[in-house]
Amino acid sequence: MTDASMTSPTVQARRPVRRANSILHRRWWGNPVGYLFVGPGVLLYLLFSVYPIIRGLIMAFQDYRFLRPATRNPFNSFNGLENWIEMVHDDTFWHSLRVALTFTLTALPLNMLLGLSCAVLIASIPNRFAETVTRVIAYLPVILPISVAMLIWGMLYEPSVGYFSYFVTKIIPIWETSPRWLGFDWALPSTIVAWVWKQFGFHTLLFLIGIYGIPRSLYEAASIDGASAWGRFRYVTLPSLRPIFTLVIVLSAGIVSATEQMLILTGGGPAEETLTTGLYSYLHAFTTVYSDMRMGYAAAMNLVLGLVHMIVAGIVFKGVGTERA
């Protein structure tokens, strides 16, 4: 018998696969034009994503102070775990983390509830033109830069000339004198309202995409079984939107930093009532409010925020995997 006839079927089946892999290998490594297209994107990713992460990891173990040039040398400013030990004993850091978690656990559910409600209402509009206009109006706040949106809300919250003050004292006289919306008692709820207004349109769009993807046959079957509108929403819409809920939570994990809106609206005040960890690290790194621009300590705090993001995402994905199993 020849060698060819003695070749096993398994070996013969592997040869086309190896030949295809060899062709792909030659096409990939032997085509310089592909690198010209991929190269700029990879370079930008390395420059603006990978490098900051690596630099932040290094700075978290340094006594890096922007106003002290001698500390910018990584060999002279390495301080081991001193930043982390200081963080454990920093009462302001723990207070800022509590504020950030309170903000997140309040604003995110409200935003998801409002976004889902708006998505259901928009999807139920029979007129296509009216539905499109409503969808555009709901998404308009998302287009605004965060700085512009928060400046608008700052003017609305003005106790003397702001619209909210006029509304609660003149149109519907709930109070004789308007409360200070950005004062001690109302600052955190006011910033939550502003953030929800700014972001709910994005969540509305995501939920709309999920609703449009639900097969109509499921609603028809539920109607035949005698399900009411609430029953169709509970047993058809909500279960079908579980992947969208996961996506919304993961994409919104960055809310825990809550830096820009707090910086513009309140600056972390009054009396640190709206001081989140993201804002606290920003003030440490780029101002002299708490220190002489200690970027190393700020990097350590931001690493903690990154860990919180990963923990939240991990819990969400684990929960989704358990439900699917």
Instruction: Quote the CA–CA distance of 131 and 136 in Å, as a whole number.
Output: 9
Residue 321's pLDDT band (cuts 50, 70, 90): low
Q: What is the pLDDT of residue 51?
A: 92
Q: What is the pLDDT of residue 136?
A: 92
Instruction: Quote the CA–CA distance of 138 and 135 in Å, as a whole number.
Output: 5
Q: Are 314 and 255 in contact (CB under 8 A)?
A: no
Does the pLDDT at position 25 exceed 70? no
Report the predicted TM-score, pTM, of the whole model to 2 decimal places: 0.81
Instruction: Quote the CA–CA distance of 219 and 199 in Å, as a whole number.
Output: 29
Computed over every residue of the chain, the mean pLDDT equals: 83
Across 53-62, average pLDDT: 89
Across 301-324, average pLDDT: 76
Tell me, what amino acid is at 96?
Answer: S
Does the pLDDT at position 74 exceed 90? no
131-180 pLDDT per residue, tens: 999 999 999 999 999 999 999 999 988 887 778 887 777 777 777 777 78
Q: Between 53 and 31, where is the model more confident?
A: 53
* Burial (Cβ within 10 Å: 0-12, 13-18, ≥19) of residue 285: buried
* Burial (Cβ within 10 Å: 0-12, 13-18, ≥19) of residue 270: middle
Q: What is the pLDDT of residue 259?
A: 86
Q: What is the pLDDT of residue 27?
A: 61
Closest C-alpha among 240, 291, 223, 283 to residue 259? 283
Q: What is the pLDDT of residue 73?
A: 67
Residue 26's pLDDT band (cuts 50, 70, 90): low
Q: What is the pLDDT of residue 164?
A: 81
Task: Tell me the three state secondary structure of residue 187.
Answer: helix
Q: How many C-beta neighbours within 10 Å does residue 268 have?
A: 22
Q: What is the pLDDT of residue 28?
A: 58
Residue 325's pLDDT band (cuts 50, 70, 90): low
Q: What is the pLDDT of residue 71?
A: 63
User: What residue ranges do the domains of the chain occupy?
Assistant: 3-60, 82-324
Instruction: Quote the CA–CA distance of 116 and 217 in Å, as a whole number.
Output: 21
Q: What is the pLDDT of residue 129?
A: 92
**Residues whose CB falls within 8 Å of the CB of residue 123, separated by 6 or more in sequence, listed in order:** 131, 208, 211, 212
Residue 13's pLDDT band (cuts 50, 70, 90): very low
Q: What is the pLDDT of residue 320?
A: 57
Q: What is the pLDDT of residue 111?
A: 92
- CATH superfamily to which 82-324 belongs: MetI-like (1.10.3720.10)
Instruction: Quote the CA–CA distance of 270 and 274 in Å, as a whole number.
Output: 7
Q: Alpha-carbon torsion 136, 192, 117, 308, what sign?
A: positive
